[in-house]
Structure formats: structure tokens, C-alpha cells
A = this chain, B = another copy of it.
Amino acid sequence: MQVSTQVRAAQGDQMAGDVVHLEDLLDDGRLSAACPTRVVLDHVTSKWGVLLLLALSEGSQRWSELRRTVEGISEKMLAQTLRTLEVDGLVERTVAATIPPRVDYSLTPLGRELVAHLLPLMGWISANAEEMLAGRA
């Protein structure tokens, strides 16, 4: 899945007018299976990915803080998800060599860009969730 330079141009440090169309995301008219976008999408939309990114949206948090903020996450998934987000360059890990050890997690500039797009989405979902689950359309 390639993306037109047009779209790339629309994504500056700030969120621009953001008129993105499906065609820009299509590869040969399809949502191609073998494209990096799918992989990243899977990371971000993994069960805990969005939640963690959100939790970090307002500043760095420690391991234990994240555990509490993101209710229900297990240590295993916390570690695992944080690592993939770190490898993807969305989250930064800062270790303080003290005793007891202290580790802080924060968003990278890239991560902050992503979250900027995530927040409106989450806001909308949050605002409409109850209505959606209430029943029929």
C-alpha cells in the first residue's frame, strides 16, 4: 500500500486540512494485504495499543502508573505492547539507574503525531458508544 505524496504533504507537524480519500490508501484498487500499513495498524489497534498511547498522551508515565491507568492490562501485555510501540518508534523508554529502578515511558514526536489523530477518534467513539450499544441503528 503506497500513499500519494499528496497525503504525505497533508501530514505536517500540525494537523492540516486533512482531506484524505480512500483512493490515496489503495494499492491497485484494494486494501492490500502485504503492506506496512496493515502491520502498523495491527500494532496500534491491538487490544491495548490505543489505550496505552492514550494514557501517555498527556505526559510520561511510569510502569506502575500505566498499570493503574490502563485498567485491566496484565503485566505481560503491558510489557509486550510497550515493546512493539517502542520498536515502532512511537514510545520512548527512559531508565533511571537508581535503586529501586525507575522507568518512564513517554511518546516520541512520532507518537505525539499519531495520538493527535487518535484523540478526536476516541472522543467521538466515547461520545457515541452508549448510543451505539443501546440497540439498533
Contact = CB atoms under 8 A, between A and B. Distances in A.
Nearest to A51: B31
A10 interface: yes
Contacts of A114: 121, 124-125, 128
A75 interface: no
A95 interface: no
Interface of A: 1, 3, 7-8, 10-11, 15, 18, 20-25, 29-33, 35-37, 39-42, 44-47, 50-51, 54-55, 57-58, 68-72, 86-90, 92, 108, 110, 113-114, 117-133, 136-137
- Is the contact region of chain A dominated by helix, strand, or loop, or is it mixed? helix
B121 A69 contact: no
B120 A69 contact: no
Contact of A120 (B88, B110, B117): B117
A55 to B, nearest CB: 6
